[in-house]
Amino acid sequence: MTDVNGNGRAAVVTGASTGIGRACALMLARRGWRVYTGVRTENAAEELRAAGGALVVPVRLDVTEETDIAAARDLVAGELDAGGLVGLVNNAGTTIPCPVEYLPLDDFRRQLEINLTGHLAVTQAFLPLLRRPGGRIVNISSPGAKIAAPFMAPYVAAK
């Protein structure tokens, strides 16, 4: 598999249904990259295909599901040539704003699982594909990593 310029550039972008992940995926595709876009719904997949063209390959990828991560890795590995994967953008995330005293622990744990643990799980799964070409990992963060905002404790902790 090579990109439209014959450079063999391919990347995975998690959380590509909306926002930063979508913008990143579409920008890479416009620059001739093959982009495997992590989505959780078929509707999001269809919208990305329509917006990005043939270089955008939507992949079912819930970063909290080991089976999704393994299936995405296997799909990407099966389509790549010896060039491997050049980029991984860990973007998937969520925010559950709530005062700490009312925040259910399960909601706190879920946000950490998506925004922190999920990124590690995806990184571990794709590292063998990234090593061959000396690929790069980009972890999308937030100003919330340094400046706490009211009602954002789980988000700040994860970032």
> Could you list the active site residues?
155
Detail the DSSP E strand segments found in the chain.
10-13, 34-39, 56-60, 87-90, 136-139
Rounded-to-integer distance, Cα 93 and Cα 21, Å: 10
Q: Which long-range contacts (CB under 8 A, 24 or more apart) does 37-44 make?
A: 37/13, 38/12, 38/13, 38/14, 38/63, 38/72, 38/92, 41/17, 44/16, 44/17, 44/18
Rounded-to-integer distance, Cα 145 and Cα 154, Å: 11
Measured from the Cβ of residue 116, the count of other Cβ atoms closer than 10 Å reads: 18
